[in-house]
Structure 1
Amino acid sequence: MSKSKPMTMSAVKRIQSAEAKSNGGQTAKGSFTTRAMAAAAANAAKPSPKK
């Protein structure tokens, strides 16, 4: 298994684009896209670990 990576806004954009294309331009409330967006926003708010 590969390591999990934090959700990024660029990944959310790809997911949202694919969902909107398959649903007539709409994304449903509570969909994977909205959960991914919340995760990406939370990850962006966290300070990055120092190396």
Structure 2
Amino acid sequence: MPSGKSGNGGGGGKGTPMTPSAASGIQSSQAKSGGDMSSGGFAARAQGAGARNENTGYQSYGHTQGQGKK
């Protein structure tokens, strides 16, 4: 029976947030495998999520992504 908790990704943003570096790897993998490279595809959504997280100052493993407000 599901516990109601989601794993990595999915479930409304619970899990590990996307970084620009991870989005780049996804795009590269999708392109090499002939995956969907359209503006609505997974690689494009990953890139958008990475950019949003960077612009909001998401902190990953002690490193600040983006500038944030001071």
Same fold (TM over 0.5): yes
Superposition deviation, residue 10 in structure 1: 1.1
2:46 counterpart of 1:11: no
> How many pairs does the alignment contain?
48
Residue type matched to 1:6 in 2? P
Superposition deviation, residue 29 in structure 1: 2.1
Structure with the bigger RCO (C-alpha within 8 Å, sep 6+) is 1
**1:30 is matched with which residue?**
40
Q: Following the alignment from structure 1 to structure 2, what is the Cα–Cα distance between the partners of residues 47 and 13?
A: 18
More strand by share: 2
Q: Percent identity?
A: 42
State the structure with more CA Rg: 2
* Structure 1 unaligned blocks of 5 or more: none
More helix by share: 1
* Structure 2 unaligned blocks of 5 or more: 1-6, 9-13, 60-70
TM-score between both structures, scaled by the size of structure 1: 0.73
* Deviation >4 Å, runs of 4+: none
Secondary structure at the aligned position of 1:30 is classed as coil
TM-score between both structures, scaled by the size of structure 2: 0.56
Residue type matched to 2:20 in 1? M
Distance 1:31 1:7, change over 3 A: same
Superposition deviation, residue 9 in structure 1: 0.9
Q: CA RMSD in A?
A: 2.5
